Amino acid sequence: MPQFRPEFLAKVDEAIAHYPAFKRSASLPLLHLWQEEFGYISNEGIHWIAEKLGLQPIQILELVTFYPMFRQKPFGKYHIKVCRTLSCALGGSSELHERFKKTLRVEGDPHGPIHSPDGKYTLEFVECLASCGTAPVCMINDDFHEKVDSQEKINALLAKCN
Amino acid sequence: MAVEEKRLIFKHIDQPGYTIDIDCYLRNGGYEIAKKALTLKQADIINEVKASGLRGRGGAGFGCGLKWSFIPPTNTKPVYLICNADESEPGTFKDRQIIYKDPHQLLEGMLISCYANRVSLAYIYIRGEFPDGAKILERAIEEAKKHNFLGKNILGSDYSLEIYVHRGAGAYICGEETGLIESLEGKRAYPRIKPPYFPAVLGLYQCPTIVNNVETLCHVKHIMAIGGAEYAKLGTPNNTGTRILCVSGDVNKPGYYEFEVGKITLGELIYDVCAGIRNGNQLKAIIPGGSSAKVLRADETFKIKQKQADGSMIEKSITINDIPMDFDTMAAAGSMAGSGGVIVMDHTRDMVEALANINEFYAHESCGQCTPCREGSLWMKKITTRMTHGGARKEDLGLLKNVADNIAGRTICAFGEACSWPTQSFIAKFPEEFENKTKTETLSEPIRTAA
């Protein structure tokens, strides 16, 4: 088992307290907390969360495989999510995805996450990020960026990733 | 002459100096309407909302007061309220503005709605892609608790309410209210079958549950501010109040705008408000209510039945520019006002490419519970992908239509309709483009074997 920071454990208890009627409701919040803390949902994580909530591990695993945001493998330190859906596509999201690929010198199927060999970046096409009026948009980790329509803007965003 | 915006919900959005903290909200009259509402009888608030004619702003346009009244009068279980902040319908970006720029407005709307329905525990189900939005709401809840607008014995009354933020994790289907409830119960978001699982009867934890969209809950505040009858004077009959329209795609000024419902036409929205089609191009097609809505072709005419002042009905033929942005006319024009997300495409756009993009979305987002949708959405994607990659077969157009025709009406939730309407309408409106893609049978082996 990994070492747990007291802050992490406190957040877990707080999350469970939000669902007085049904502990199982804390499954998604706990998965989010685990992924934020450890980077991905390991087998250990699945078992730990299940035990914490009095569930079977399969009841947690089936969530990890259903919800697109949860991952079972480590991602890069910077997770770049480019919106792929229609309005962003009309605004040039394919070009944006291509530009990221060239700039990061990565290759791969646009239908899945593409990892840079040094583990620093993961580039992924995702579905609608709900900012269709400022297409094309992307997120780098939790930070959201609008109208990323030039190489200069990409360079500026990547310069902040250290 | 451009139609004037009527900003109720967006009154302070993007106003210089307006911040998200509670002090700013209070300086602008915040929570005053909730204070007043807490002195009223619950039934009186529900009656005001009914009188307002407010229709849900999430997509279906269902009467809000009616939805509330479905809670069985004999109910003894706790009642829950869930704010649906899972804004995921492509083309829609209105709730983002409210959550990120005026979170207390949502909390005030929720407080009034919860009080009216005797709810003491409510959740905001926010999409996972809004991590900052979740933090903003959590901070706003803390502030509201410090001022005793939330928590125990609100403002000295015997009414108590807790609101918690619950983050989704990237699944579109969580916007469907019963899928959302399953997700909030810690399960896969498989929508429930109705009947018996109408949320107002058997919702969260099998208790009566109200699920309302972010914008809808904000409207409740404005209804209580001016009264239901006064609110109903805004907009047009049966399509009352204001609503937020989000415009994206090939226009010069994409963005979010608030108008009285039905007081602006599609043409005024595109040409006056959004300054026309970009690059001097011609309008080709509009998806008027989020990506599930049926596409409208620029040169179509629509036969609309209109009620005259004397009550008689006349049938009128109108162009796309003349369609008023309301629920009923948009439905009469063969599409839907949906979530208010208007996606505009100009004459340079390839409609098969556009549909392929939409189909990829739905194939990715089908929850997989019902076979027609799980398999059909994937096959529609495969067929439109090979059409755009030069690997289509001659029979593909018929096949694509056949697949789409066999999804809608055969699934537990409305996702079946949402994923088949784009395909059905794109083929019906732009048959020549699809025929061109399938005219010549090319043997592109890798793609053929992939499908």
pLDDT, one tens digit per residue, over B326-359 is 999 999 999 999 999 999 999 999 999 999 999 9
Gap between the Cα atoms of B296 and B399, Å rounded: 23
Which residue blocks in B333-391 are alpha helix, DSSP H?
351-365, 371-388
| Chain A residues in contact with chain B using a Cβ-Cβ cutoff of 8 Å | 18, 20-22, 24-29, 31-32, 53, 59, 62-63, 66-70, 81, 84-87, 89-91, 126-135, 139, 142, 144
C-alpha to C-alpha distances, A128 to A131, B89, B90, B198, nearest whole angstrom? 8, 8, 6, 28
- Residue-level pLDDT at B1: 53
Counted residue by residue, chain B has a size of 451
- Probe site for chain A from B206, B244, B248 (most A CB atoms < 10 A): B248
- Probe site for chain A from B162, B187, B347 (most A CB atoms < 10 A): B187
pLDDT surpassing 80 at residue B383:
yes
pLDDT surpassing 80 at residue B77:
yes
Low-confidence ranges of chain A (pLDDT < 50): none
Do strands A121-126 and A78-83 pair parallel, antiparallel, or not at all (unpaired)? parallel
Q: How far is A141 from chain B (nearest CA, A)?
A: 10
- Residue-level pLDDT at B306: 76
The sign of the torsion formed by the CA atoms of B225, B230, B233, B237 equals: positive
Tokens representing B364 are 């990715």
Contact B78 A21 (CB under 8 A): yes
Contact A63 B188 (CB under 8 A): yes
Q: How far is B111 from chain A (nearest CA, A)?
A: 18
Tokens representing B374 are 């799980």
From first CA to last CA, the distance across chain A in angstroms is: 29
| Residue B446 burial by Cβ neighbours in a 10 Å radius (0-12, 13-18, 19+) | exposed
Gap between the Cα atoms of B198 and B206, Å rounded: 10
Helix axes B42-52, B103-116, angle to 10 degrees: 120
Q: How far is B361 from chain A (nearest CA, A)?
A: 7
Contact A135 B129 (CB under 8 A): no
The distance of Cα B381 from the centroid of its chain, to the nearest Å, equals 24
The confidence band for B312, taking pLDDT boundaries of 50, 70 and 90, is: confident
Average pLDDT over all residues of chain B: 95
The confidence band for B450, taking pLDDT boundaries of 50, 70 and 90, is: very low
Q: Which of A39-43, B158-162, B304-308 has the lowest mean pLDDT?
A: B304-308
Question: What order of strands is seen across the sheet that includes strand B79-85?
Answer: B162-167, B119-126, B79-85, B209-213
Gap between the Cα atoms of B140 and B94, Å rounded: 19
Q: How far is B172 from chain A (nearest CA, A)?
A: 9
Contact B364 A127 (CB under 8 A): yes
Tell me the DSSP string of A35-76.
HHHHSS--HHHHHHHHHHTT--HHHHHHHHTTSTT--SS---
CB contacts < 8 A (A, B): 141
- Probe site for chain B from A14, A52, A66 (most B CB atoms < 10 A): A66
* B365 chain-A contacts, CB cut-off 8 A: 127
Gap between the Cα atoms of B81 and B118, Å rounded: 9
Q: How far is B403 from chain A (nearest CA, A)?
A: 22
Which helix (H) or strand (E) segment is B123 a member of?
A: strand B119-126
* A20 chain-B contacts, CB cut-off 8 A: 121
pLDDT tens sequence across B217-257: 999 999 999 999 999 999 999 999 999 999 999 999 999 99
Closest residue to B357, CB basis, from A59, A86, A131:
A86
Q: How far is A83 from chain B (nearest CA, A)?
A: 10
Q: Which amino acid is at B266?
A: L
Angle at B270 between CA B265 and CA B276, to 5 degrees: 145
pLDDT tens sequence across A120-139: 999 999 999 999 999 999 99
Counted residue by residue, chain A has a size of 162
pLDDT surpassing 50 at residue B448:
no
Closest residue to B343, CB basis, from A24, A59, A87:
A87
Contact A22 B189 (CB under 8 A): no
What is the phi-psi region of residue B54: left when phi exceeds 0, alpha when psi lies from -120 to 50, beta otherwise?
A: beta
Contact A20 B121 (CB under 8 A): yes
Gap between the Cα atoms of A106 and A75, Å rounded: 14
Contact B169 A67 (CB under 8 A): yes
Do strands B119-126 and B162-167 pair parallel, antiparallel, or not at all (unpaired)? parallel
Comparing CA positions, the residue from B212, B32, B158 lying closest to residue B104 is: B32
Give the per-residue SS3 of B240-252.
ECEEEEEEEECEC
- Helix, strand, coil fractions of chain A, as percent rounded to 5: 45, 10, 40
Q: How far is A62 from chain B (nearest CA, A)?
A: 7
Q: How far is A105 from chain B (nearest CA, A)?
A: 25
Tell me the DSSP string of B191-246.
PPPTTT--TTTS-GGGS-EEEEEHHHHHHHHHHHHH-HHHHHTSEETTEESEEEEE
Peptide bond connecting B195 to the previous residue in cis, omega within 30 degrees of 0? yes
Gap between the Cα atoms of A109 and A125, Å rounded: 10
The confidence band for B266, taking pLDDT boundaries of 50, 70 and 90, is: very high
Q: Is B285 helix (H, G, I), strand (E, B) or coil?
A: strand
- Residue-level pLDDT at B447: 47
Is this complex's ipTM strictly greater than 0.90? Answer: yes
The distance of Cα B193 from the centroid of its chain, to the nearest Å, equals 21
Contact B167 A29 (CB under 8 A): yes
Q: How far is B165 from chain A (nearest CA, A)?
A: 9
Contact B186 A89 (CB under 8 A): no
pLDDT surpassing 70 at residue B122:
yes
Nearest-CA residue of chain B relative to A147? B254
Do strands A143-145 and A138-140 pair parallel, antiparallel, or not at all (unpaired)? antiparallel
Gap between the Cα atoms of B316 and B174, Å rounded: 39
The confidence band for B451, taking pLDDT boundaries of 50, 70 and 90, is: very low
Q: Compute φ and ψ for A143, nearest 5 degrees.
A: -90, 135
Contact B170 A142 (CB under 8 A): no
User: Could you tell me the pTM of the whole model?
Assistant: 0.96
Which helix (H) or strand (E) segment is B165 a member of?
A: strand B162-167
Contact A128 B249 (CB under 8 A): no
For residue B152, give every residue at least 6 positions away whose Cβ sits within 8 Å of its Cβ, in sequence order, or none: B160
- Residue-level pLDDT at B443: 53
Contact A126 B170 (CB under 8 A): yes
Do strands B235-236 and B209-213 pair parallel, antiparallel, or not at all (unpaired)? unpaired
Which helix (H) or strand (E) segment is B133 a member of?
A: helix B131-146
B262-280: average pLDDT: 96
B164-187: average pLDDT: 97
Contact A22 B131 (CB under 8 A): no
Q: Compute φ and ψ for B21, nearest 5 degrees.
A: -80, 160
Closest residue to B169, CB basis, from A22, A28, A142:
A28
* A146 chain-B contacts, CB cut-off 8 A: none
Q: Which amino acid is at B128?
A: G
